[in-house]
């Protein structure tokens, strides 16, 4: 009877992958190429293979990376941000650990990108704000309400997700909105939510709720300066449409 110690399976897979990589010419190995030429010299599949680290079921890590990129379809490498763990684990050779590694590197890349873009973002321009949040929000299959809290210079202090709803409606009361705004000492706020249908046109309920929030803000001294609805590469700004 063969006894496999904890971690032994992963070690065996790693050693097999190492042996497979050594059988390749040096210029074809992602690790060696990255070290000698820099990460810019690697293809998208090779970069992903370094994250995946080991192959499985007779496939090299690069082969698994190619399968992940196929799953992304026409979106290419950016499609990784929209994959779920369940979808990734449907690829033979991608288990929970590899799925988590891929999801984490995608999320890290998204956060780095958003942090860099935020430095130059003008929160007084609806289009700039909508463009900044477009990729994050347009692919969601449920409505999600975000609150953007700004200081006296219209710079972002913080953002908060107040609710996640059904495919039709995300709800948050004026009380919840302004308690959150006061927690961050916001001077003004922007509401933002998505329409999973892809059509950003506001419903009558959107208009009524927005006006109630604006009126409540006037009473306590925190201005609602906009409500932006994100669709599929489209948006509607209540301030631009004179709907506030």
Domain parsing of the chain, residue ranges: 8-114, 122-237
The series of mean pLDDT values per 10 residues for the chain, 244 residues long, is 49 52 54 82 87 82 89 82 88 90 86 70 85 84 91 88 72 87 94 92 91 94 95 93 91
What b/e string do you get for 219-228 counting C-beta neighbours within 10 Å, with b at 16 or more? Answer: eeebebbbbb
Q: What end-to-end distance do the CA atoms of the chain give, in Å?
A: 74
Supply the pLDDT for residue 211.
92
Structure-block tokens of residue 161: 């997700």
Supply the pLDDT for residue 169.
56
> Which CATH number is 122-237 given?
3.40.140.10
Supply the pLDDT for residue 166.
64
Distances (CA, A) of 77 to 28, 68, 74, 83, 174: 20, 9, 9, 11, 39
């Amino acid at each position: 009877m063969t006894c496999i110690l904890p971690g032994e399976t992963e070690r065996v897979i790693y050693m097999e992958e190492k042996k497979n990589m050594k059988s390749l010419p040096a210029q074809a190995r992602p690790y060696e190429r990255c070290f000698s030429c820099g990460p810019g010299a690697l293809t998208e599949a090779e970069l992903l293979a370094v994250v995946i680290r080991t192959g499985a079921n007779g496939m090299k890590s690069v082969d698994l990376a190619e399968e992940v990129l196929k799953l992304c379809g026409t979106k290419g490498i950016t499609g990784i941000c929209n994959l779920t763990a369940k979808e990734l684990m449907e690829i033979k050779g991608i288990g929970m650990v590899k799925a988590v590694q891929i999801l984490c590197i995608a999320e890290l890349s998204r956060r780095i990108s958003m942090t860099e873009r935020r430095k130059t973002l003008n929160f007084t321009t609806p289009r700039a704000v909508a463009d900044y949040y477009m990729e994050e929000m347009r692919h969601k299959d449920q409505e999600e309400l975000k609150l953007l809290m700004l200081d006296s210079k219209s710079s972002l202090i913080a953002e908060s997700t107040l609710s996640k709803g059904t495919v039709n409606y995300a709800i948050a009361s004026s009380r919840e909105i302004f308690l959150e705004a006061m927690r961050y000492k916001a001077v003004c706020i922007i509401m933002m939510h998505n329409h999973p249908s892809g059509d950003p046109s506001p419903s009558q309920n959107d208009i009524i709720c927005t006006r109630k929030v604006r009126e409540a803000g006037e009473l306590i001294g925190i201005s609602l300066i906009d409500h932006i609805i994100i669709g599929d590469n489209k948006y509607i700004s209540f301030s631009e449409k004179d709907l506030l």
